[in-house]
Every structure is written in C-alpha cells, then in structure tokens.
Chain A
C-alpha cells in the first residue's frame, strides 16, 4: 500500500496537466458543495434565530381554541389571562398577544388582515413595539415592510381599519402607521397590523384577555394550565424544520449532480489511462509487480486525485469561505416573493461535520470509480501488454 501510494504520487505528478485538470474539477466540487451547504445552513441558522427572536420567543401558551390556520375561530380564541402568569408579565418575561380578524382600506380597496395587539413595553420579542407609544392624533399601528408594500402604505399614512365587535357588528377606526419595520419572519409581517394590546382590548371589549402568551428566556412555567396549552419550541418551529429538511434535500440533488460529473471525469481518465498505459502495465508485471499490486496502484492513482483536490481546494476554498463568512452572501433579488423567511444577506455556516462528510464521500466514491476500470488490468495478458498492443 505504501508502495502504491509512492508510485501513484510519482505517476500523477509526472502526468502533469491531465492530473491537475481533474484535481481542479474535484476541488471545485468540494468547494461548491461545502459553500452551498454553508449558505443553506447559515440561512437556516439565521431564519431560526430570527423566528425565535421575532415570533416564537422561548415557547408559547395558546388559548385552547386558538388555531393559527383558522381565522374564523379567532373570535372564540381569547380569554382572560390566568393569574399565574401575572408575575411573568409584570416582570417583562411574558408578552401577551391578542389577535382578531379585521380589514384595512388602503386607497379605498378592502383587504382583510389580522390585528395583533401587544404591550408596547414588551421586551420578549424583537418587534419594535415601543413605536406604538408615539403621540398621535389617530390610533398608532406598526407593520412590516411586506405588509406596508402590499397595502401601499408609508410611515405617517392614515388609513381605516374595520373589525367586528362582540355583537358581531362592524366597527371602523382611523389609524396612523407610526413605524414600518424590517423583518425576515413573514409570520409577524405579511397580512397583519400590530397595535397596542390595550387599544385592541378596548376595540374588542375584551379587557385583560389574550389569545397567546409569548414566553421570554427566563420563563419557567412549562405545564398546561386549564384553558391554555403550552407549545414548546419543537412544536412552534416544526414548520420551519420541515422546510429546512426539504431545502437540504434540494441541495442534495445539486450535490449528486456535481459528484456524478466529477466522477465521470475520473472514470474517463482511468479508462483512458488503462488503455493507453498497457505497455507500462506489462512492464510493471515483467518487473515483478503482482496483478493486485498493479490494480491497487491504478486505484490509488485515481483516489489520489481526490486527496490532491482537498489540498488544492483548501488553498482557494478556505480564504473564500472565510471571506464569505465575513461579508455574507447577498441573495439575488426576487427571492422575497417566495414567501419564505429569507434574509437579504446570508452568512454561511461551515460545520466540521459537513466538511468531513463531503471530503470522505468524494474520496470513497472516487476510489470506487477508480477501482472499477482498474480491475480490467488483472484480466490483461502480460505478453500482449508489454508490446502495447491494442486489445
């Protein structure tokens, strides 16, 4: 084996350009796969972090009727907050949110949306709720960039919102957009308007009530409370985790195509060299190499492309990865409309595991692909091979 490695190295370096072409192709595969997964992982990491910071907090309590997928039950999905939460709320560790259905009239068009009331002083999620304390003639509201765009509203605009009160009759009120925030979490942006929870309670005639409670980092209550169900992070993030899984599978497809292309290059080189180097193979055998030694030499030669590629890939890949980690990767415009949580700039995350698995996988596949044609050597007739006759 040591001999094979030594000879394979001599042969590869001696072969020059062809070797380096293959090595470069392979190194490109490494770098691209690692970078691609780095971006996906960086994106996932940021999306999950944003989702926790902006939306789900450290877990939530839901009023038992609350179903985020069924807006028509929102009317029955709020209740008085149980007393056991009071310490948390006053301590700033729990942020109650009251939710109702409503509509907004930008430019005289009707557009249904969700009204979310929250304490302007809350510190549990990153939402800039302090803006709701603005001095304003009309009731202050805030919304995300997406919502503002779809309603064609700007900061300072006044518009009309409508909602149904306890008696089922429609009420209307003028509101002023006091802040438009930038956020990559669609669940706090698209199709919703935020206002002070006290304002919304008044509008709904639901004093002291909430639909859900967002828990902060220090919150310790974890059990269900009559009428309120505890939702842990696994549950709240499950949709996101599902999406991440799908994206990783999509990435895996690219992975596969790249590896197949690189392997075709290696396979082609191997088949060609076994064909062209018959005389050399015959000479090896005449000088006393066993057939297995020759097969192993050619296999190692092929596999060594993958090892040299690690070195070459590291030479330009590591500076590239570090640079990307620093400046981030700007997503092309337009991805916004996919409705996913997408930050404009992704900072790739490169796990050691990812790098090891990629390198190992490529190495194993290269070895197999190199071995397959090399096996033919053991079926060669040495007397023919020495003459370099074409078989």
Chain B
C-alpha cells in the first residue's frame, strides 16, 4: 500500500439475497481514497451509498472483489479483528445520531476511549478537547434528550473524532438537521479534516453537504457514474 492510501476498493460487488435470486446493490466498483480526503458518495435513494459505507466500515462484507481498509482485507477479517479495526481507527456518524440515551454527553463521547482502555485522566482531557472542537463544552453533563438535533449530531461528531481516527464514515449526517445546523456541523468536520488530517467519507443526497465535498462520487443503481474532484 502506498502510504497515503486509506481505502482501496477493486472489483467490488455486493449482492443481497432476494425472493427468487439476488439483488445487486453495488456493481464492480473500483475506488481508492487517500489520506485527508473529504469525499462523498452522492446519489438517489437506493443507489447503494449506505451499503458502500458499511463495507468500508467493516460492518458488512463484499460478495465479490476486495475492499482493503487501512491494510485490512475486509473479506479476510474475523469479526473480532473487524471490531478492533473499528475500535482503533474508524469513526461512525449516523443519520439518527445513535447516541446512548442514558449516558451524559461526556459519557457518550468517552465511550470509544473506554474501549481503548485509556486512563481516566487521558480520557477526560480527550473528551473535553473533542467537545470543544464541536462547541459543546457547556453541555458536558446534559443527556441526549435535553439537546437539539444539531447538538446531538455534534456530540456524535465529537464521539467519532475523540480517538482521532484515521477515517470517519458519515451516513447522511445532516438528514435530520435544518440548514443552519447542517452548515455548522459541516464546518466543524471540515476544520477537523484540515487540523487532524482525518479522512472523511460521506454518503448523502443533501446539496448542503455536497457543496462542502472536495471529491464527489456519483452512484446510481450500484454503479459509479462519476468521480470528480471539486474545487471550492
């Protein structure tokens, strides 16, 4: 692998079993992502964006072809190894935030660090830093139910970023947000991408997100129809 190559996808096919055969959600995809990219899969509903992110995130496996993520062949990975890969190097941001409702903001952001068995003092520092990045230092003790949608998504970003992962996968992160909040969290991610050199891969059909992307990969019916570098 070249040093800057984070993800390398070749000949990737994903089929789902269906009544009377298979449904091909992704069809012969070849792609690479380098370090520090701010890229996104763009396309209509059902085009395969989420499926793509799930495979890159080692939550799912290809039916054919390869996906190499940070030197790990997703096909060959045991479920334990995949968990370790996610734990150490991947961050996820979901459309529905997926915060743990009974935890405070602090505890939610702390969670990935607990899995990494960091010491309490290291955890505290990292969590407070991450909350500062997303501008939520004053909400440390709040619970998700007490936050607005935008604040929840910012907590989710802090949670994804707190361990400074090499790659963050964000699936429709703005779908539940109004435009002010969308811009706010995108600016936050853009800044983190520049400051920490974290690679971001989005899945979206939201124009507000698309405007921030520096690389736009268009998907349609499981095929890449365009892969453009956008200058902005």
Contact = CB atoms under 8 A, between A and B. Distances in A.
16 contacts: A3-B117, A7-B114, A279-B96, A286-B86, A288-B84, A288-B86, A288-B90, A288-B112, A289-B83, A290-B79, A291-B83, A382-B60, A383-B50, A383-B60, A386-B98, A388-B96
Most chain B C-beta atoms within 10 Å of own C-beta, residue among A13, A292, A387: A387
Contacts of B83: 285, 288-291, 293
A290 B84 CA distance: 8
A350 to B, nearest CB: 37
Contacts of B202: none
A287 interface: yes
B124 interface: no
Contacts, number: 68
B102 interface: yes
B59 A382 contact: yes
B72 interface: no
Contacts of A3: 114-115, 117
A383 B59 contact: yes
A383 B169 CA distance: 14
Contacts of B84: 288
A224 interface: no
B161 to A, nearest CB: 13
B49 to A, nearest CB: 13
Interface in A259-309: 279-280, 282-283, 285-293
Nearest to B143: A14
A-B pairs with the 3 shortest C-beta distances? A288-B87, A14-B102, A288-B86
A285 B83 CA distance: 7
A150 interface: no
A15 B102 contact: yes
Contacts of A282: 98
Report, as a range, how many residues of chain A touch the other chain.
20 to 34
B77 interface: no
B59 A280 contact: no
A10 interface: yes
Contacts of A287: 86-87, 92, 111-112, 115, 159
A6 interface: yes
Contacts of B111: 287
Contacts of B79: 290-291
B88 interface: yes
B107 A10 contact: yes
Nearest to B99: A283
Most chain B C-beta atoms within 10 Å of own C-beta, residue among A280, A283, A289, A293: A283
Nearest to A12: B102
A283 B98 contact: yes
B54 interface: yes
Nearest to A286: B92
A280 B94 CA distance: 12
A290 B103 CA distance: 20
B112 A383 contact: no
A383 B80 contact: no
